[in-house]
A and B are shown apart, each in its own frame.
Chain A
Amino acid sequence: MRLEPIAAPSHARTLVPPAIAIAATIAVAGLLAALAGANPLQTFGLIVKGAFGSKFAALETLNRATPLVFTGLAVAVAFRARLWNIGAEAQLYAGALMTVLIGTQLGLPGPLAIPLMALGAVMAGALVLLGPVLLKTRLGVDEVVTTLLLNFVMALFISYLLEGPLKDPMGMGWPKSPSLPRDARLPRIVDGLRLHWGFGLALICAAGVWLIQTRTTLGYEIRAVGANPQAARFAGIPVTRVLVKTALLSGGLAALAGFSEVAGLKGNLTTDLSASFGYTGIVVAMLALLHPMGVVISALFVAGIFVGADSMSRAAQVPTYIADLLLACALLFMVLAILLTRFRVVRG
């Protein structure tokens, strides 16, 4: 058996496999729900209702999607250049740390502090990815390994800070940082609704990344380096410099997730600030086929499943693990389906 590329796929070719993938995801997840002793249809109904069924639920989903848009964009940007950034988690924490440092230590007024916090976060995240990319371009060190391992380094470093120098004296012994002053928090988009401007910033970033990729020379260079580094180098594209720029952009985007979580939602830094948003960003980006606008939709989908599953589990006694399974199935089936829209399987 082998795969044969399809020159010009028909509409049916491009639509049917993804539809089957969705159906298969639902079927598998339904089977698992049934195994857990629940009615599959009811379970799905509860998930959808829990994610989008009320104003409160929908806002919760949007809040949950916000960091995923940032990390999803970070991964999408890097993967487009074939820079395998698995370290969005570390970059997120670097951003969160810088946000807290600037917000609590400098004593600046809010209107000045917030932009400075965002800028500092971006630079910190970019810096965290700069090391691995320089090791890659100079010495050929595999960035999958370095970025992945930096996640643990960063987690332990944050843990050390929160137990030590950055520990909140008013925190009653909990390992958490001091809280940002009121005026250094991101305002809500609409008064009275629990949705902060981090979500707005995420949408702006998605549009910005899309503009960069389609309209600017940098975006063109990033795509060229990712699609064929040898041809890019031959044509005169400075491959190393493009990879470094990509890393700065990607690390900065991931760090904004940390900034937005701290300044928009939590107000302080804890070791559980991120619910694996950095890793989930990879799923978000892959489901979106690395398209920046697709990242927004896919982040909403993923966030909806998590939020919906939480609420469903309270109502139907099905473990929340079903959210992870749903996502895993969705990703596997969708990747396979996308492959089948472009290739056909032939024997011999």
Chain B
Amino acid sequence: MPPETTAQGPVLRLSGITKRFGQLTANDGISLSLARGEVVALLGENGAGKTTLMNILFGHYTADAGTVEVMGQTLPPGQPGAALNAGVGMVHQHFTLADNLTVLDNVLLGTRPLLSLSPGRGAARRKLAQLAQDFGLAVDPDARIAALSVGERQRVEILKALFRDARILILDEPTAVLTPQEADALFDTLRRMLAQGLSVIFISHKLHEVMAISSRVLVLRHGKLVGETATDATDRHQLATMMVGAEITAPAPAEARPGETLLKLDNVSTARQGNRPGLQDVALDLRAGQILGLAGVSGNGQGALADLLSGLESPTQGTLTLADKRPDAWSPRTAVALGIGRIPEDRHKTGTIADFTLTENTVLENYATTARGGWMNWRAARTATDAIIDKYDVRCPGPDTRIRLLSGGNMQKLILGRVLEAAPRIILANQPVRGLDIGAVTYVQEQLIAARDAGAAVLLISEDLDEILTLSDSIRVISEGRLSPEFPRGTKTPTELGQWMAGQGFDHAA
């Protein structure tokens, strides 16, 4: 494409964007400019205001103050169509594709009038093929979305934006669902786009990716722009410090001393549920004093394994053995009674009851054991809650506060207290630090390590490979409901694990 004359100034300029939600200032006077052929990384923890800022750019929210300019033109606020027409494309973290349509139909969706006699599919097909070739985004235009892998779906999302002649592409946490190899392929595509004069905003909280792809970094913290620097002039440590606002030290667990096997799965399969694969002929040993990390791309059977160990689901085949015994009736209550502590994936929907007080949430799992003849023992519940608030540093107005008023980190500390105070022999930690700020992350991880050192068997499920590599004494990879062999700490590189995450190696192992 010929260079445009408007390329002198920035292609995108946000000036003084401010957005408040009630008491919370999600964006506080943020300004950002993006030049042609540039990747700007937007770095910040969950809740720092990245997504809000992009929603304002797209007209989903109306800013309380500030303006958005694309190619020198000010966009009218609150009109999602305006940004699209001006050439801004966005690839959301959660894809917005119609599963039952083909790739071509998804790309065309919304670009044609509803009732058109000449859909122009032939021309569209040629344009799509050209784009796919130019940017290295190979995908079959006639494949149904439902049949595509996550990485392929992301390519379709990018093609969708390019098909609409986007000159600015916003990627929101694009690598969260990718294996390391797929992430590398994505970066190749991005480099080709830059060479063609497109510009990219890359939203992430993964520092090594930001260092690898961006030319400038903007750091957000609590809704404020706290730093802007050329990527060459900084390093990961400095960015992390900027992002958190304090020095951080990653936990470094000491050598594990694995003991006896506390939980054993033999040839276990579970039922498939909708899009979620079940487990397939899985064998698993959880040993005392060891953290076993379960790596894998989201939606490959982690949920099935977590539900099985939580007691929500029973095996359709195979056996589950706990401390040499096979429980006859498998239910959440049995799981808790037999010493499994469970930190659920979704603390808002599964872990707590939003309209219950802290006290009521604390006793969710053990109210029946402290009750006397059907009467609640509120005094014991209150004492236990006070102890957890104190010991786990739960910041709250008091034990009678409804838990919905707490931050995610404090909610997770209460759940952690509830789990650990029951002195479980086995701990199932499903995404225990997702969405937490770094202070809380470190705290939760240290508590898990401490529980391991005290002799608990920990199963850590995470989609964040870095987290798995840092904490796990041993790693297994899950792919389409199958488990890889066990890899002790340090025996596999991220790239090798990535191959397992992509499903390679299972056939030889089986």
- A interface residues with partner B (beta carbon < 8 Å): 4-8, 215-220, 223-224, 227-228, 230-238, 344, 346-348
Contact = CB atoms under 8 A, between A and B. Distances in A.
B323 interface: no
Interface in B296-319: 310-312
Given A224-B364, A348-B61, A216 B350 contact: no
A217 B62 contact: no
A234 B310 contact: yes
Contact of A217 (B22, B336, B368): B368
B331 interface: yes
Contacts of B365: 235-236
A346 to B, nearest CB: 8
Contact of A227 (B336, B356, B374): B356
B375 A216 contact: yes
Contacts of B378: 215
A227 B353 contact: yes
B344 interface: yes
A236 B375 CA distance: 18
Interface string B55-90: 000000110000000000000001000000000000
Contacts of B405: 7-8
A233 B310 CA distance: 10
A348 B312 contact: no
21 contacts: A6-B22, A7-B23, A7-B405, A215-B376, A216-B376, A217-B374, A217-B376, A220-B367, A231-B351, A231-B364, A232-B353, A233-B312, A233-B332, A234-B342, A234-B350, A236-B331, A236-B333, A238-B331, A238-B333, A348-B61, A348-B78
Most buried by B among A4, A5, A223, A234: A234
A231 B375 contact: no
Given A220-B367, A230-B350, A235-B332, A215 B375 contact: yes
B336 A230 contact: no
Given A6-B22, A236-B311, A236-B331, A217 B375 contact: yes
Interface string B368-406: 100100111010000000000000000000000000110
Contacts of B404: 5
Contacts of B335: 236
Contacts, number: 79
B354 interface: yes
Contacts of B22: 4-7, 344, 346
Nearest to B22: A4
A127 B510 CA distance: 55
Contacts of A344: 22
Contacts of B375: 215-217
Interface string B308-349: 001110000000000000000001110110000010100001
A124 to B, nearest CB: 25
A217 B371 contact: yes
Nearest to A229: B353
Contacts of B371: 217
A220 B356 CA distance: 10
Given A228-B355, A234-B312, A236-B331, 9 more contacts: A6-B22, A7-B405, A217-B368, A227-B354, A230-B349, A232-B353, A234-B350, A236-B335, A346-B22
A292 B352 CA distance: 25
Which 7 pairs across A and B sit closest by C-beta, in order of nearness? A236-B333, A235-B364, A236-B332, A348-B62, A228-B353, A217-B371, A234-B350
Nearest to B350: A234
A13 B351 CA distance: 30
B355 A231 contact: no
Contacts of B367: 217, 220
B28 interface: no
A234 B368 contact: no
Nearest to B78: A348
B374 to A, nearest CB: 5
